[in-house]
Amino acid sequence: MKHLSLLKGAVAATSLAPLAALAGGFELPDNGARAVGRGGATAVGAVDLTAAHYNPAMLAPQATKLSAMWHHNLVFHESTFTRAPLAEGWGPAYGGARSDAVSDAETLFPLGAFVSLGSSFGLKDTMFALSAYGPSSVGKQDWPSYGPQSFMMTEADLLLMYYSASAAWQAPSGDFGVGVTLQYVDMPKMQYELVLDSDASGTLTPVPEDTTAGSTTTQLAGKLDLKDRAGGTAIVGAFWRPLPQLQLGLSGRVVPIKLEAEGGVILDKPELSPEGLTVKLPLTMPMQARGGVRWVDASFDLELDVFWENWSVIERYDVSMDGEINGLPVDDLVIEKQWSDTVSVRLGGDLRVVPDVLDLRAGGFWENGAAPNDYSHIDFPSFDRVGLGGGLTYHLGHLGAPGFAVSAAYMHIFQEDRDVSEAHGKTFQQRPLTPCPDECGGFSGVVANAGRFETSFDIVSVGLDYRWVD
């Protein structure tokens, strides 16, 4: 019966693994070398095929026989968690105990490709494009297996792809245009592991205990292994030029992405591996809107954007489970998140140092965090942040390679440090068999996110563009 309790607890509590790593501030400004160098200010200034993502209407001014693009982001990240000293109320065994700071061992996420191919197919003022890319984000983490953070998370490995088809048209005058991008959303991999406590007696153990051979601990690590290969959304956009130097743009994701990941559970005690159980985790990536104003001169352009994401749509996660263990059914679960909408203000521009040869750019942004302070989490470090970037594009046409351009950019993202106390933390150790406070003697439970969160990001982006030159 002890093994049965462990197994049932593992399956249920592993299903509580938050999905925030795919949502909200998980995405960092932004895709493409030009956008990184401009601080993400590209609602009107997307002059390459990344317009399929930022504002598909901006593909129309690029109409040509053939365009091709490959841009790639390398995201470097530092994330450290220092567990707050345990309160004296835990008694002489645990009260006042301190833990060393721990960090994510995966400091580089290299899978930030954006590839696209476009053509006008001979139609005037019209452009079509096919693209494949993922969110600009951190998709993999590796924390100590039974470290002081492990009640929140120990591992994450997530892949998300947008396969896109775009079309755009502009008026013959070039004063306004519209565009649309239709996207097939594919999540081929979502793995997420945390340490849980399947104690059936109501006893609270506030520190992780490694499960070694012969150990009597009720703690163990459980990993979700899920995927969803079929989602969809759409991006629409428009631009207007009321003056020769002034451009306005508006675009957004008008259809929220609905995913329902399905799969099973892997435990670090193989003898407890469940069979015949299914887990479904619905995930919504909400609507977005971005608007910008751009001033264009012969030697420079400057753009100011506002970008909004409706993350308040995620108040909780509803986890559906089916199956039985030795005749005992596994119940559905609910996780409160209480996220907020995010707003980002972005300012950036290009300076044409040598016309048609060398462009320099710089920019920056501010963005509020999606996660409330008391719900801070290592898997979703979406806190207030500021980013500064710069970059360049070198056009190779004068060297005998018509239409080629190479770009490079760098951005550093400063993110606020956060401190969460045991008195205010809202992320708790997962205890599916004896949930608190009902079966924990009236106590709220073990606060998993009490401590100090320190994070920062660096993005290095390179790109190669080709445009057919008549």
DSSP string, 359-392: EEEEEEEEE--SS-GGG--TT-----EEEEEEEE
Q: Are 196 and 7 in contact (CB under 8 A)?
A: no
Could you tell me the pLDDT band of residue 256, with boundaries at 50, 70 and 90?
Answer: very high
Q: What is the pLDDT of residue 104?
A: 97
Of the two residues 271 and 171, the one the predictor is more confident about is 171
Q: What is the mean pLDDT of the chain?
A: 88
Torsion of CA 50, 361, 410, 136, to 10 degrees: -20
Determine the pLDDT at residue 173.
96
CATH number at residue 437: 2.40.160.60
pLDDT in tens, 211-223: 655 567 888 888 8
Nearest to 24 by CA among 415, 412, 386, 383: 383
The mean per-residue pLDDT over the stretch 371-382 comes to: 90
pLDDT at position 313 over 90: no
Q: Residue 68: what pLDDT?
A: 96
> Are 351 and 361 spatial neighbours (Cβ–Cβ below 8 Å)?
yes
More confident residue, 441 or 412: 412
**pLDDT on residue 372:** 94
Q: Are 231 and 203 in contact (CB under 8 A)?
A: no
- Asked if pLDDT for residue 7 goes beyond 60, the answer is no
Share of the chain above pLDDT 90, in %: 66
pLDDT at residue 367 greater than cutoff 80: yes
Q: What average pLDDT does this structure show over 355-379?
A: 94
**Which pLDDT belongs to residue 160?**
93
pLDDT tens digits, one per residue of 18-67: 433 333 356 888 899 999 999 999 999 999 999 999 999 999 999 999 99
Domain that holds residue 282: 2-467
CA dihedral 192, 193, 194, 199 (to 10 degrees): 120
| Contacts with 163 (C-beta within 8 Å, 6 or more apart), sequence order | 131, 132, 183, 184, 185, 186
321 strand-pairing partners: 279
In the block, which residue shows the tokens 């030029």?
241
Which pTM does this prediction carry? 0.92
Does the structure show a pLDDT above 80 at 333? no
Which helix (H) or strand (E) covers residue 53, if one does? helix 51-54
Maximum average pLDDT range among 1-10, 148-157, 308-317: 148-157
For residue 398, what pLDDT is reported?
55
Mean pLDDT of 379-393: 94
Domain tally for the chain? 1
Element (H, E) at 423: none
* Residue 281's pLDDT band (cuts 50, 70, 90): confident
Within the chain, how many helices (H) and strands (E) appear? 3, 23
Q: How confident is the model at residue 318 (pLDDT cuts 50, 70, 90)?
A: confident
DSSP, collapsed to helix, strand or coil, labels residue 321 as strand
